[in-house]
Structure 1
Amino acid sequence: MHSIQIGDSALKVMPINLGGNVFGWTLSEQESFKILDGFVERGFNFIDTADVYSVWGGPNNKGGESETIIGKWIRARGNRDKIVIATKVGWDFKDGRKGLKADYIRRAAEDSLKRLQVDAIDLYYNHIDTGEVPLEETLGAFKQLIDAGKVRYIAASNVPADRLKASLELAKTGSYPAYQALQPHYNLVERAGYDSDLQQIAAHYNLTVFPYWSLAGGFLTGKYHTISDLEQSIRGLHVKKYLTPEGLMIVDVLQQLADKYQTTPAAVAMAWLLFTPMVGAPLSSATKEAHLDILASVPDLAARIEQEDIDRLTELSGKMTYNNEK
């Protein structure tokens, strides 16, 4: 298993990115510690979270729960120098906290640093760009944080292609920092947004890509085949649109390949991502040891899976259609 350099930065990570959205939501603090311990024990070092995680987790959740748990874990384990931490700013908390204005970014960064109990954020994401704030203001705020040693590098997620490119061009003037990574919504059944524009931008500006929703909310694991299956999980309704003949064909082929390589459909789906140009480490959460075992198997699988099987999945996913019923 080899490390990945993030963009032109000095950050190096292993090729799986652990999602922290479940910490403080579907996992307690104690359960989260077990998952974090298991992740690093398997040789990985890259943990992703956001300030807004997990404000949706119930009446007692105000956001920041995930960062707080990760911060306590880092302090308890004394492993800060072995971990690369990514967090994000800008998403709407639904209580007035949101956006990419300079003063808000500065306050949000300070709050994240306190919760994470670290001196600097390794990779700080612009979580969502709605186009309401001038790029110069947002990038200027990031520059101040970098100059102050509170952020090492910046990255972008949920940013329209035109805004992303304009930001990167501004950075070339030397007055602003450049994004080093991109976190798009991308997987075997969600390809259009990245393939159409973002992939070319990532390649041109050397952005390392960390796809989120790598398993399409669990759809690519094969556990959803019918409408009744959607009731198995709180995420079920979010994957209803994938229940089409094309979507189910992809799931069937994932199972065939899983049988061929003696692995799981989830591992095959994530291995496919590692063949996508500029992808460095697919993002996935885990709620049990078995999930960590699957994640740990992905780099080895990607090294031995046959190109014709990757090509077959690429061709099938290019024909994907969606169920638009509410």
Structure 2
Amino acid sequence: MNGHQTITSEMTKVCLGRSGPLVSRMGLGTMTFGVETKEQEAFRQLDLFVDHGGTLIDTADAYGGGLSEEIIGRWGKQRGGFGDLILATKGRFVPPPGSHGASRRSLVRSVEASLERLQVEVIDVYFVHGWDCHTEVAETLSTLGDLVRAGKIHNIAWSNLAGWQLQKVLSTAQAQGDPIPVALQPQYNLLDRGIEQEVLPCCLQAGVGVTPWSPLGGGWLTGKYSTELQPCGATRLGEDPNRGVEAYDLRNTERTQQILTVLRNIAGRYECPPAHVALAWLSSRPGVSAILLGARTVDQLKSNLGASSLVLTAAELDELTKVSAVGLPPYPYGFLEHWSQMDVWKTLGT
């Protein structure tokens, strides 16, 4: 084998972005809690995650209509508090009655509700769950700033933004003197590298940490789905083959199969699951602070935690990067890359 992998209680810790808290390289995503994962199984996942050195627990008011937050809150109370753990939650998609999106009225009430469900006095990282086209971002940011100053949030963050939206958030926050987001939570994996064109460069330039969701492409990168037969049974795509960006027909492509072939080949060298290789590649990407692992069961989580100590060679990383590359659209990205390589910008005086 080219390397080794063991589950360790000394999971690597990194700063969340340029100025955020110190977090484990793998975070626990809890979207399944209260929906696909019952409370006692969720407690066991939380115990396992912490026992293996995990510190970042990620939830949202939209997960199970608040059930995920409630379960985490009861678990925290049972263990005597969260201590050194970093608790992240989100608001925007489940506004209180009479509110909408990321407005001041909505966020203030949403934060209060999340604090109550989580049974804490302050949220370590509060994500706005998505862009709100009905609310000026200046209002959203000033509200978040007030909540930070009131001691109800330590750090702010965002999820699911386009590049221009992230830059508007950053520019507006700086102009107003409001807190700068420490992190962005987008979809990012070997099957979907769309953020690399605009969003990721913006994060890198501004020092915003990336905490990807769906690191295994909705299960595709585990190798459990077949190109010959649509999934069925107790899997995410088995229960809902048309599941948004992870839909079976959308991802059942030749490119996906080429990626899976390389994943399996590399996994064979390490005698580990393909999922470990996919997670190790993602963990190596520039700007990625913490990867969010979501699981229905303790066994699934335990398996994925095994990827925390897998380090791929530069050649293996390059092989995965090349097979999953989608190329640049001809304009403007291909055009700009071509002319920058020709050093034409100096000629043009820019």
Mapped to 2, the partners of 1:22 and 1:217 lie a distance apart of: 13
Mapped to 2, the partners of 1:17 and 1:150 lie a distance apart of: 22
Question: Does the alignment pair 1:153 with 2:155?
Answer: yes
Work out the percentage of aligned pairs sharing the same amino acid: 35
Corresponding position of 1:4: 14
Instruction: Look up the SS of the partner of 1:280 in the other structure.
Output: coil
Corresponding position of 1:313: 320
Corresponding position of 1:258: 267
Tell me which amino acid in the other structure corresponds to 1:308. Answer: A
Structure 1 position 91, deviation (Å): 1.5
Mapped to 2, the partners of 1:96 and 1:226 lie a distance apart of: 46
Q: Deviations over 1:25-72 (max 9, x none)?
A: 111111110111111011111111100102xxxxxxxx0000000000
Cα RMSD after superposing both structures: 1.8
Corresponding position of 2:196: 195
Seen in structure 2, the aligned counterparts of structure 1 residues 10 and 209 have a Cα distance that, compared at 3 Å, is closer
Instruction: Look up the SS of the partner of 2:19 in the other structure.
Output: coil
Corresponding position of 2:128: 126
Deviates more, 1:228-237 or 1:163-172: 228-237
Tell me: higher relative CO, structure 1 or 2? Use CA pairs within 8 A at least 6 residues apart: 2
Mapped to 1, the partners of 2:80 and 2:196 lie a distance apart of: 40
Mapped to 1, the partners of 2:320 and 2:18 lie a distance apart of: 31
Corresponding position of 1:24: 34
Instruction: Look up the SS of the partner of 2:308 in the other structure.
Output: helix
Q: Deviations over 1:135-182 (max 9, x none)?
A: 110001101110110000000101221121111112223521110001
Structure 1 position 227, deviation (Å): 5.3
Seen in structure 2, the aligned counterparts of structure 1 residues 110 and 257 have a Cα distance that, compared at 3 Å, is same
Corresponding position of 1:36: 46
Structure 1 position 10, deviation (Å): 4.9
Write out aligned runs for 1:265-304 (5 A).
Answer: 265-302=274-311
Tell me which amino acid in the other structure corresponds to 1:260. Answer: R
Q: What runs of 5+ residues in structure 2 fail to find an aligned partner?
A: 1-10, 328-350
TM-score, scaled relative to structure 2: 0.84
Mapped to 2, the partners of 1:144 and 1:45 lie a distance apart of: 26
Write out aligned runs for 1:230-249 (5 A).
Answer: 230-232=231-233, 233-236=235-238, 237=241, 238=243, 239-240=247-248, 241-249=250-258
Tell me which amino acid in the other structure corresponds to 1:78. Answer: G
Mapped to 1, the partners of 2:36 and 2:228 lie a distance apart of: 23
Q: What runs of 5+ residues in structure 1 fail to find an aligned partner?
A: 55-62, 321-326
Q: Deviations over 1:222-280 (max 9, x none)?
A: 01113534213233413311111110121122111111111111111111101111001
Q: Which has the larger radius of gyration?
A: 2
Deviates more, 1:69-78 or 1:245-254: 245-254
Question: Does the alignment pair 1:205 with 2:206?
Answer: yes
Structure 1 position 299, deviation (Å): 2.5
Aligned residues: 309
Mapped to 1, the partners of 2:200 and 2:262 lie a distance apart of: 25
